[in-house]
Chain A
Amino acid sequence: MKEYGIFDILGPVMIGPSSSHTAGAARLGKIGMEIAGSGFHRVRFYLHGSFAKTYRGHGTDRALVAGVLGMEPSDERIKDSLNIARDRGIDIEFMEADLGYVHPNTVKMVFYYKDRDVYYVTGSSIGGGSIIVIDINGNEVEFTGDYPTILIKYEDQKGTISRISAILSDEDINIATMKVTREGNVATMVMEIDNPIKSKVIDRIRNLDEILYVKGINSIRRA
């Protein structure tokens, strides 16, 4: 039985018309931007399934763009986000796409930068404003953005997990969930934690020898 709090039922406070197609889309845009990083000059959205079929009428396009511009799902500027992006000199493109066996409300967001490689994030809006991120630059992941999340890629070797968890414990951070997958010799770890992420924690993890990549993402508010 799934647990609900009162503000899951009376909430989110959001811009309409649809919690999945609008509020969830804004959160997906925002988490995509948080993961990929700011400074992009172009974003291309590949819309799958129901997102592809109904995005205009549900304002999914405006909500996604609002999200990548950093707006929350309750921001009344969502309606004008396409114009705001244009004013900021950010090119926006929408394409219909078949992203395979994924949730019907799925989007792949590709961020283009002048000074670094393109970066992409794929995620699904799974209902009621809830989202999951499923792919980052080809790495399969699964996390919701409801908790502060730390993404780590490292060369797999004995003791890495304990070294990372020792840092967190030392910084008085509680781990809510942890998932590790491995492809070849490279492991990907997704950790959801109960406390906001401090840059010091990320720096300490980065300083471990085997770490290839580490990124902290603070939670993406529902309202």
Chain B
Amino acid sequence: MFNTGKELLELCKEKNRKISEIVIEREMEHNKMSFDELMDKMKLVLDTMLKSAHSGLDKEIISVSKLSGGNAKKLEDYKNSGRTICGDLINSAMAKALSTSEVNASMGKIVAAPTAGASGIVPSALITVKEKFNLTEENMIHGLFTAGGIGEIIAKNATISGAEGGCQAECGAASAMAAAAVVEMAGGDVEASLNAASFALTNVMGLVCDPVAGLVEFPCALRNASGVINALLSADLAMAGIKSLIPFDEVVEAMYMVGKAMPESLKETALGGVAATPTGEEFKRRVL
């Protein structure tokens, strides 16, 4: 059992295991499932993720409210033009994150990771790193267990709810989960995974949840796009050997405290941030 990053690190060291292996062992025991059953169940999660991350790339997906959509395809087309500023990898990752967000807003099928609003980040990060290093589907499934383990620690010690902690708790947590997972997938050690998760949370500490018209659309989809890049760059920082000055568990605690200190208007109520701008208010009137 582990409740904190420190405990997870100690378990990994003691048993000479990766984060994913520790989480898999714990889940097998907890759910009384065999290794194969657990892998099959996670495969279903992965399949849904793969589908949602791709289906918006070649066709426009418009939200139920008709407020947003079609941006994943726009970005994918732009990437294919070959004249981007950030290059193929970053644009492709952003497009896949937007795709899942658009599927979500159109009442399509997604996996909450850790929430529906932040569901684009983990799938896109894992796909990006799988393609970059020619990894297998099995590597991605292991990555999901690592991501889940980090998400659990954040959920237990802080929150993964935008209503409780703002967007830092949803997209921030998703980026931390993804960062730790892709470090492991890319061959980094457990400490590097925790450093990457710390960076991802630190980078967006204080990010507010301000959905226009209260809908999971704008700026949610945008923050999924920037969230996956946050995950990837945090992973690179950690893989380079850069260490977080503040340990992961303390960063998680700090995120929680910042969330508590945030006024209600900035926590999913659509009463602050871009939701409360004149244009945001106008969209609210139009939708409701």
Contact = CB atoms under 8 A, between A and B. Distances in A.
Interface of A: 1-19, 22-23, 50, 53-54, 56-59, 62, 74, 76, 78-79, 127-129
Contacts of B201: none
B107 interface: yes
Interface string B104-118: 111111111111110
Contact of A16 (B3, B106, B148, B287): B106
A11 B109 CA distance: 11
A5 B114 contact: no
Nearest to B26: A6
A15 B64 contact: no
Contacts of B152: 4-6, 8-9
A82 B271 CA distance: 30
B116 A14 contact: yes
Contacts of A57: 64-65, 67, 213-215, 287-288
Nearest to B216: A17
Interface of B: 3, 23, 27, 30-31, 41-42, 44-45, 48, 63-65, 67, 103-117, 119, 122, 144-145, 147-149, 151-152, 155-157, 160-161, 163, 177, 213-217, 287-288
12 contacts: A5-B31, A7-B41, A7-B45, A9-B114, A10-B122, A15-B108, A15-B109, A18-B117, A56-B65, A59-B64, A76-B108, A79-B107
A128 B115 contact: yes
B156 A2 contact: yes
Given A2-B156, A6-B145, A58-B216, A16 B107 contact: yes
Contact of B111 (A2, A11, A18, A53): A11
Contacts of A58: 214-216
A54 B111 contact: no
Nearest to A78: B107
Q: Most B CB atoms within 10 A — which of A7, A9, A78?
A: A9
A76 B23 CA distance: 31
A127 B119 CA distance: 15
Contacts of B42: 6, 10
B103 A16 contact: yes
Contact of A13 (B44, B63, B106): B44
A78 B112 CA distance: 17
Given A56-B287, A127-B161, A17 B156 contact: no
Given A10-B45, A10-B144, A56-B65, A19 B112 contact: yes
Contact of A5 (B3, B30, B106, B157): B30
A16 B116 contact: yes
A9 B108 contact: no
Given A7-B41, A56-B287, A18 B216 contact: yes
A75 to B, nearest CB: 9
Nearest to B52: A16
B104 A17 contact: yes
B111 A76 contact: no
B282 to A, nearest CB: 15
B149 A54 contact: no
A2 B288 contact: no
Contact of B114 (A1, A10, A23): A10
